[in-house]
Chains A and B, each alone.
Chain A
Amino acid sequence: MRANCWIAPNNVAVKNVPDPQILNPRDAIVRITSSAICGSDLHLLHGYIPAMTKGDVLGHEFMGEVVELGPGVRDGLSIGDRVVVAFPIACGNCASCADGLYSICENSNPNAAIAEKVMGHSPAGIFGYSHLLGGYAGGQAQYARVPYADVGTIKIEDDLADEQVLFLSDVLPTGYMAAEMCDIKRGDTIAIWGAGPVGQFAAASALMLGAERVIVIDRFPYRLRIARENTGVETINYEQTDVLDALREMTAGRGPDACIDAVGMEGHHASPALHAYDRAKQATKTETDRPHALREAVLSCRNGGTISVIGAYGGFIDKFPMGSFMNRSLTMRSGQAHVQRYMRPLLERIRKGEIDPSFIITHTMPLDDAPHGFDIFKNKQDECLKVVLKP
């Protein structure tokens, strides 16, 4: 089959690789009909996530048709079913899964011992997301093996288009969880750093969950425009406006009730000097992640407010404003999305027309063009916000 493979930092290529096979009783093989490139794939592309190997198949946002099933798959999944696949691999049986915390499944990372060396304890395995998180082949391919298929998929029975349901695999639940972690109460103002797909869905979800005001912060005018046009939020371009001042002004000095970091480890800063500082630390491996958005979110948040960290971090950060965080009674919540927990309720909302996630798609192209897709997505060319690949 054809598959988009990681070759080296800043180098991906579509290659011929063997077809996946059933390895375990609860596996399914899915013939992929749509697959997306995620912002977090750029961290892999740029080489900031450790433990990548030449030839790793990328991709963790995909859907398709079940073509093969292991003998142990429960819950009435059958061949021919149209399914969306959740990006975290979760067994459904361990204590974490039982608590609905699927992205920290205790069994799905066969390489947990390596992850424990870096993180203390291991999170779940993830499709196409390094050997630290399992070494699973991803979904930017024609086929994929889906372990624990009875837990990791949701059946799509209506005639909703791929484009409307594909993002149940990651970015929609991820954005939704970011908003949910803010514990939104009536009248709340939520500020969101990052107007990528996750930030867009976090904004839409914050409004769905009852926020009074949502403010989205980015530096690309087209991304801010998409947010304004589709969700009616307010926006700040941090290259033109000082974010702290603007947020203070917009909330009459209080600060937003909750701040969402939907940027993560490769943030930018309006000040070239500050950006260069973290970039240099990253290049010399004295920090792995550039936490510009996180620092600003902490400083901006109102006293007693909540920081919801949904942007991906990989390792260690520097100059975290701990004094501000501690003295002002802030709370921080975080996590990779527990996708399996949100797929059903969010599919319900899509069905009812409360949200149509397809508004983020700017490019659709054949799988073989994946390297080009990575390129324009990385360089924010041609107003690229989301690339969908058709195998």
Chain B
Amino acid sequence: MGRTTMGVRSVTDSLGIERAGQDRGSEGLARFLGWLSLSLGVTVLARREQVSRVTGVDDSPTARQVLTAAGVRELGHAAALLIPRRAGWGAWTRVAGDMLDLAAAGQAMKGRCGERRMRLTYTTWALAGITAVDLYTAVRATRGRRGRDANRVYGSVTINRSAADAYRFWHDFENLPRFMSHLQSVRTTGDRRSRWTAKAPAGRKVTWDAEIVDDRPGELITWRSVDGARVPNSGSVRFVPATGGRGTEVRVELGYRVPGGMFGARIAKVFGENPQQQVCDDLRRFKQVIETGEITRSDGSPDGSNRQQQLKQRPAQPLATRGSGR
């Protein structure tokens, strides 16, 4: 089971629904290549004469222009790799650049012999090596990207109730729609089985069957959708007594695959479905329900804690019509 602390994730999915969302290794490599591009670009532009001598093309005026262009291009790679928050297609710009460099080196090789040809050969081999590293980084970074259409969200909250109470409340899945706002209903259909109905973007509905995978009273519940669900998903909740009698830490992990992959996730966000926010809001409401017996409502937020609603507050003035009390 994946263990989370702020920002540090070792995601090993016990349920096999998806793989790690982010490939940290390729991130680091991409950054390194970004800095390499920057230093290379600056070196070429500032010390063009020395560079052309070392690489063995110091005898032609065309080579000078090609080198200057390559230097400027390296700065472009650096920007593509260092500016975005996540390395993605930036690494591919370097691969494209490498192809240009290899082609240029091959062209230059034709007209040279002796000492210069030797140096050019070394340069070409070095270029080939760099190309291999660039290709490897680019493939890893973008494959990692594609993996993110499967998603995983985490949330935690501390409640002033015992782990046993919290477990009992959660274990009755029919309670979940009381605090999980996207759920319309959950009906228990068997010993470990239940039928879930959720609101989907644009007023649609999604229904699926889920089964309990792991069930340790007072400690943990793990569930997943059974085969054939339109949004394959899984979830786990752990109840851990907080230190020194500070109540119970409730830690939730949800995994799901949005239909339509990354594009689908984007569309869902447009309709206000942000899973990470949703799990935080849901846990806030879980705490309210289990501690106070009700969802906290105000005139500005008559439907309770909901990030979406918080941004579009109605005035703090009584509602004209009777509220939608649950």
Q: List residues of chain A with CB under 8 Å of any chain B CB.
A: 3, 5, 17-26, 51, 53-57, 72, 91-95, 98, 106-114, 125, 128, 131, 134-138, 145, 147-148
Contact = CB atoms under 8 A, between A and B. Distances in A.
A319 B124 CA distance: 61
Size range of the chain B interface in the assembly: 35 or more
Contacts of B111: none
Interface of B: 158, 160, 246-247, 280-281, 284, 287-288, 291-302, 304-307, 310, 313-320, 322-323, 325
A111 B297 contact: no
Contacts of B304: 110
A56 B315 contact: yes
Contacts of B246: 95
Contacts of A98: 160
A18 B319 contact: yes
Contacts, number: 138
Given A53-B300, A53-B315, A107-B287, A113 B160 contact: no
A-B CB proximity, top 7 nearest: A135-B300, A55-B315, A20-B318, A110-B301, A56-B316, A93-B291, A91-B292
Given A91-B291, A107-B287, A107-B288, A131 B316 contact: yes
9 contacts: A21-B322, A23-B297, A55-B316, A57-B317, A72-B294, A91-B291, A110-B306, A113-B280, A148-B292
Contact of B315 (A22, A54, A108): A54
Contact of B301 (A5, A18, A95, A135): A135
A3 B299 CA distance: 14
Contacts of B302: 23
A111 B314 CA distance: 12
Contacts of B323: 21, 23
B298 A125 contact: yes
A107 B293 CA distance: 11
Grouping DSSP codes into helix (H, G, I), strand (E, B) and loop, the A interface class, with mixed when no group exceeds half, is loop
Contacts of A125: 296, 298
B316 A113 contact: no
Contacts of B314: 53, 135
A341 B180 CA distance: 33
A138 B315 CA distance: 11
Contact of A136 (B280, B300, B320): B300
Nearest to B297: A23
B313 A18 contact: no
Contacts of B160: 93-95, 98
B291 A57 contact: no
Contacts of B158: 95
Contacts of A134: 298, 300-301, 316
Nearest to A115: B310
B197 to A, nearest CB: 25
B291 A107 contact: yes
Contacts of B295: 24
Contacts of A23: 297, 302, 319, 323, 325
A55 B296 contact: no
A18 B247 CA distance: 40
Which of B288, B300, B307, B322 is most buried by chain A, counting CB atoms within 10 A of its CB? B300
A91 B296 CA distance: 9
Contact of B317 (A17, A24, A91, A95): A17
A111 B288 contact: no
Contacts of A5: 315, 317
Nearest to B323: A23
